[in-house]
A and B are shown apart, each in its own frame.
Chain A
């Protein structure tokens, strides 16, 4: 298996390099400008690097900034300007906000207090773990949620004497991963995918999307998929498991909220207020930065904390993704690429969105979900131009399922973190995850067909 994966990775990398060289140096395509052709070459190279992780994600981002001017797709200043995109600054602000939740211990306090409600039986405990992971991921990155909840869930397994490989253990850790993953798609704060997609949408088409508008589309999907996950838990838990109860847990008493924890709550509320009610006057990115600065001003977060809790290198990856996507559409490469993939006319837009979302779910299982979205969106934008589908629909249909990786540890860090505890095998996560993948795709299709038109996105 390991050798097979290694060979596949090498194959993808070589194919990417070959296609890069082919489009850039070898084969002139009459209907394409040199910029567009070079852009397609760069796209294949980036896709192979992001799929195989041959280079760290931020380094591939840097490579994009180098190759865009070298291949004369964009001037150096135009290329570097895209790193200063509003999406990048939104992510920066959101990461600092989450640092406040993590550093003060507020996130852990919320989690432990929340789990107290779910002590009666094992099924409730599973739901508790799932729900707290879900809720926290609505307000902070899903991988940070999984990282802070892992010790809590391990503690639960020790107290309940849950063995590795047991059904209880598998379900408990899968609930952690699923909760974080599903919650992560609900708002723009669960990961970098949504802000990145909104940034690319704005840079390419000048279309703005507010925090609340995004949540109106994404949150119902998250809630519905979450409902399915809870249903699965109920089905998979045998009656016997219900004898396990968290009542064995010693009552943990917390000291009253510290001043800095109160500040984090106030700053989050202020920022949410700005995002929800004043987004017409203050852009999302500015509100996020105002929140971040308030945390520093109240001495709740120090710069060292922001350095410790956030991996800032990844910002370069997001900037690179936006630069690649924007140039891909503007050079005409996206339209050519889209028409090469789908050569038939008259395909219903719903079918196109269904296929795009299916491909997004598939791709995100094998690579970073942000990278999957960053690669698919430019193609999606091209398709939206060729088939006159609103770019908002394409953005949502790619980005929302792009976060739904349930099967493999490499799909998303919450999966890797939960898997690392050793309570379930890849076979288990594939077995349970594929059911959730299929269900979530059908749910998404229902929303695309029936809910999105009500929210103003006609298909």
Chain B
């Protein structure tokens, strides 16, 4: 069985990860394609808010955006490593484990065509800058053939 697991900085939660691990345990063996897509939304929202409020100049705002962007990529890649290691430990076969830059919807479309997975797991958006969403009962989406 081919499993596609895609997460971002805003789309990640333990429930989705646990679901993936449970599935691997049940199946005994599964080919996993795990990807991290860095979220552009957080640095972009902060930068646009700061420019909108008119407090920092463009250079400082851009520097700030870049700092956050690098931080988010580093953070996501650490999580990616942790997920892939755990999947291997649980008996899953990690076919691919890497980060991809770009728009999530485009990446998903491309991966779906290339891999033709039997199961797709995508954590739902659980937090965002300056706004904390409540009542997220469903922590992830999954599509199984």
Residues of A within 8 A of B (CB): 1-2, 5, 53, 56-58, 102, 141, 143-144, 147-148, 150-151, 154, 158, 164, 305, 307-311, 313-314, 317, 368, 409-410, 413, 416-417, 419-422, 425-426
**Contact partner, B57, options A53, A57, A310, A420, Cβ 8 Å:** A310
Q: Are A314 and B54 in contact (CB under 8 A)?
A: yes
**Contact partner, A309, options B43, B60, B64, B130, Cβ 8 Å:** B60
A-B contact count (CB 8 A): 85
Given A307-B57, A420-B42, A410-B130 contact (CB < 8 Å): yes
Interface mask (B43-58 → A, CB under 8 Å = 1, otherwise 0): 1001001111111111
**Contact partner, A151, options B54, B57, B61, B67, Cβ 8 Å:** B67
- Total interface residues on B, using CB and 8 Å? 29
B1 to chain A, nearest CB (A): 33
> Cα distance A307–B132 when bound, in Å?
34
> Cα distance A58–B51 when bound, in Å?
11
B68 to chain A, nearest CB (A): 6
* Cβ-based interface call for B96 (8 A): no
Please report which residues of chain B, range 58-81, place their CB below 8 angstroms from some CB of chain A when the two chains form the complex: 58-61, 63-64, 67-68, 71, 74-75
* Cβ-based interface call for B129 (8 A): yes
**Contact partner, B64, options A147, A311, A410, Cβ 8 Å:** A147
* Cβ-based interface call for B109 (8 A): no
Q: Are A309 and B57 in contact (CB under 8 A)?
A: yes
B54, closest chain A residue (CB):
A314
> Cα distance A416–B49 when bound, in Å?
9
The 4 closest A-B pairs by CB, nearest first: A308-B59, A314-B54, A309-B57, A2-B131
B94 to chain A, nearest CB (A): 24
> Cα distance A383–B99 when bound, in Å?
60
> Cα distance A148–B59 when bound, in Å?
11
Q: Are A420 and B54 in contact (CB under 8 A)?
A: no
Q: Are B68 and A420 in contact (CB under 8 A)?
A: yes
A6 to chain B, nearest CB (A): 9
Q: Are B54 and A313 in contact (CB under 8 A)?
A: yes
> Cα distance A309–B43 when bound, in Å?
18
Please report which residues of chain B, range 22-47, place their CB below 8 angstroms from some CB of chain A when the two chains form the complex: 42-43, 46
B132 contacts which chain A residues (CB < 8 A)?
A: 1-2, 425-426
Given A1-B131, A1-B132, A425-B132, A150-B67 contact (CB < 8 Å): yes
A-B contact pairs, 22 of them (CB 8 A): A2-B132, A53-B52, A56-B52, A102-B60, A143-B55, A144-B56, A147-B56, A151-B67, A164-B75, A308-B58, A309-B60, A311-B56, A311-B57, A416-B50, A416-B130, A417-B46, A419-B129, A419-B130, A420-B42, A420-B46, A422-B75, A425-B132
> Cα distance A81–B24 when bound, in Å?
72
* Cβ-based interface call for B133 (8 A): yes
A371 to chain B, nearest CB (A): 10
Q: Are A143 and B56 in contact (CB under 8 A)?
A: yes
Given A1-B132, A417-B46, A421-B71, A57-B54 contact (CB < 8 Å): yes
Q: What does DSSP make chain B's interface, helix, strand, loop or mixed? A: helix
Q: Are B63 and A317 in contact (CB under 8 A)?
A: no
A311 contacts which chain B residues (CB < 8 A)?
A: 51, 54-58
A5, closest chain B residue (CB):
B131
> Cα distance A310–B54 when bound, in Å?
9
> Cα distance A144–B56 when bound, in Å?
7
A409 contacts which chain B residues (CB < 8 A)?
A: 130
A422 contacts which chain B residues (CB < 8 A)?
A: 42, 75
* Cβ-based interface call for B134 (8 A): yes
> Cα distance A426–B130 when bound, in Å?
8
A73 to chain B, nearest CB (A): 24
B137 to chain A, nearest CB (A): 16
A220 to chain B, nearest CB (A): 27
Given A56-B53, A311-B51, A413-B53, A420-B59 contact (CB < 8 Å): no
B54 contacts which chain A residues (CB < 8 A)?
A: 56-58, 311, 313-314, 317
A158, closest chain B residue (CB):
B74
B71 contacts which chain A residues (CB < 8 A)?
A: 154, 421
A1 contacts which chain B residues (CB < 8 A)?
A: 131-134
> Cα distance A413–B61 when bound, in Å?
11
Kindly name the residue among B54, B56, B60 whose own CB sees the greatest number of chain A CB atoms within 10 A. B54
> Cα distance A5–B75 when bound, in Å?
30
B58 contacts which chain A residues (CB < 8 A)?
A: 307-308, 311
B63, closest chain A residue (CB):
A147
> Cα distance A425–B58 when bound, in Å?
27
A192, closest chain B residue (CB):
B55
**Contact partner, B56, options A57, A151, A413, Cβ 8 Å:** A413
B130, closest chain A residue (CB):
A409
A143 contacts which chain B residues (CB < 8 A)?
A: 50, 55-56
> Cα distance A118–B61 when bound, in Å?
28
A164 contacts which chain B residues (CB < 8 A)?
A: 75
A157, closest chain B residue (CB):
B71
